[in-house]
Amino acid sequence: MAQRKGQTGNPRGRPKGKPNKVTMETREWIKRLIDKNRGQIEKDLKALDP
């Protein structure tokens, strides 16, 4: 059954306080990336001109 304009198949939506799964996965990926490359990141930052 097609839905009318302005209606959704999930009217209650995601519960309040429930984190977005994609956001959590992205944060974990970035954390792992930084942890694995921390030494090189620090060297690169020190090499930058102020």
Please, is 47 exposed, middle or buried when counting C-beta atoms within 10 Å of its C-beta (0-12, 13-18, 19+)?
A: exposed
pLDDT of residue 8: 81
Q: Mean pLDDT of residues grouped by 10 in the chain (50 residues)?
A: 79 84 92 97 94
pLDDT of residue 1: 61
pLDDT of residue 14: 82
Spell out the domain ranges in the chain.
19-50
pTM assigned to the model: 0.53
